[in-house]
Amino acid sequence: MIKRILIGTCMLLIVPVIALSAVDSIKIESHGTSRNKAGVGPVIFPHKLHKKSFKCAACHPKIFKAKLGGNSITMRQNMNKKFCGSPGCHNSPKAFPLFHCNKCHMKGK
Amino acid sequence: MKSFVRYTKTTLLFLLVLTVCIAVSGAFSDVESAQKRKKSSKIDPTNPCSVIYLDTKGNLAGVGDPNKPASLSYKKGRGWHPQALSANGLPKDRYGLIDWARLVRENLIKPRHALKAGVDEMPPLQMDVLIVAKGDFVDDVIYPHEMHTYWLKCEVCHPGIFIPAAGQNNMTMIGIVEGKWCGRCHNKVAFPLTDCSRCHVSPKKTSKK
């Protein structure tokens, strides 16, 4: 009986830890064909990290629609000051530059 | 006695799991604080006192402060110190670096071809090569031989860096960022890779995105 309670408590402790680490990173992967041609993987967007430094309105709805897969992001637009490359973001001295491909894209296809 | 052993076992298991949990969450906050530390030491390229001199590995080579020489070559190169050059009113690109291509195009400088007089100079090769970028959206690259052969001999690039045949080099942007192909020079001695649209100039016909 006590053993079960103990194991239960353990589980209760483990689950949130795993969940916390996985949740709130958004996988952006609409343009699979184009990415495969270029040999870069899906994008992992750390939502939590961004929420820490910016208010929601800094991004929603001006830059990104708050909907999973609701934005058709391409590198061409990123280069042209849209989405991730918006002014003051990854096309400026404020954040890492766009040519650090592997900081946004998972490696491989 | 038996139950005592069982209790010790479960307690030990519990403690083990607890340490693992703590270790894991510790690791996460470590990552975060590491990112914070990185942020605080970030260099602001728009600040003239800040560094624009990085060595080929991307590490600091100088501090950009004329009162704090980066190396012994500082004294010799004083007249040609990048900051002194910038202060001369030479045209700059949008990162505040000297735009050497514009200098050439607008005939602002006329560097000598060779130390000895009388050596024939080959005129720049007027040939643009279209390099199709992989993927469906990104603008294609037009590689201008003219600007490069103004500064460089054919042998600098052919055949060491590029096979002189259009489409035979199988370049990738990832490889360029890692310092291959165009990245042998760009980001180091030629304009930086951040300036995507200086290379990616020819829109793909298939896509307007």
Nearest CA in chain B to A53: B36
Total number of domains constituting chain B: 2
Boundaries of every domain in chain A: 2-103
Shared domain check, B97 and B143: no
On whether residue B118 sits in a domain, the answer given is no
Q: Are residue B87 and residue B159 in the same domain, yes or no? A: no
User: Which pLDDT value is given to residue B115?
Assistant: 82
Question: Which pLDDT score is estimated for B62?
Answer: 57
ipTM above 0.85, yes or no: no
Average pLDDT over residues B128-142: 95
CATH topology of domain A2-103: Cytochrome C3 (3.90.10)
Give the pTM: 0.80
Per-residue model confidence as pLDDT tens digits over B174-209: 999 999 999 999 988 899 999 999 999 999 876 555
Beta bridge partners of B144: B128
Burial class (CB in 10 A: 0-12, 13-18, 19+), A10: middle
Position A108 scores a pLDDT of 66
Q: Do A102 and B174 touch (CB under 8 A)?
A: yes
3-state SS assignment for residue B60: strand
Answer whether A40's CB lies under 8 Å from B172's CB.
Answer: no
Asked whether residue B122 is assigned to any structural domain, the reply reads: no
What is the predicted pLDDT for the residue at B140? 96
Is residue B160 a contact partner of residue A65, using CB atoms and an 8 Å limit?
A: no
What does the pLDDT average to over A5-12? 56
Nearest to B193 among A13, A40, A99 (CB): A99
Distance CA B16, CA B14 (A): 5
**B17 in contact with A at a CB cutoff of 8 Å?**
yes
Q: What percent of chain A has pLDDT over 70?
A: 77
Instruction: Look at B10 and A2 and tell me if their CB atoms are within 8 Å.
Output: yes
For residue A74, which residues of chain B lie inside 8 Å, CB to CB?
Answer: 136-138, 209
